[in-house]
Amino acid sequence: MFDAHRYILDPQFPLFENQGARAEPYTITDYERDTDGLGITGGAVISASFHGTDQSFLVSSLETLGYGWVGVASLPPDATDEDILDLDKAGVRALRLNLKRGATDVQTLTSQARRAHDLVGWHAELYVEASMLMSLEPILSKLPAVSVDHLGMSRQGLPYLLDLVDRGVRVKASGFGRVDMDVVDTMKQIHRVNPAALMFGTDLPGARAPRRFRESDLDLVAEAVGGDLPAVLGGNARAWYRVK
Does 34 reside within a domain?
Answer: yes
Does 49 reside within a domain?
Answer: yes
Does 67 reside within a domain?
Answer: yes
Which CATH number do you get for residue 168? 3.20.20.140
- Convert the chain into a string of H (helix), E (strand) and C (coil): CEEEEEECECCCCCCCCECCECCCCECHHHHHHHCCCCCCCEEEEECCHHHCCCCHHHHHHHHHHCCCEEEEECCCCCCCHHHHHHHHHHCEEEEEEECCCCCCCHHHHHHHHHHHHHHHCCEEEEECCHHHCHHHHHHHCCCCCEEECHHHCEHHHHHHHHHHHHCCCEEEECCHHHCECCHHHHHHHHHHHCCCCEEECCCCCCCCCCCCCCCHHHHHHHHHHHHHHHHHHHHHHHHHCCCC
Per-residue model confidence (pLDDT) at position 22: 73
Q: Model pTM?
A: 0.94
Does 117 reside within a domain?
Answer: yes
The series of mean pLDDT values per 10 residues for the chain, 244 residues long, is 96 74 88 97 94 92 97 94 98 90 70 95 92 82 92 91 95 94 97 98 92 96 98 98 92
Per-residue model confidence (pLDDT) at position 141: 83
Which residue range(s) make up the domain with 28? Answer: 1-239
Does 244 reside within a domain?
Answer: no
Domain count, the chain: 1
Does 134 reside within a domain?
Answer: yes
Does 10 reside within a domain?
Answer: yes
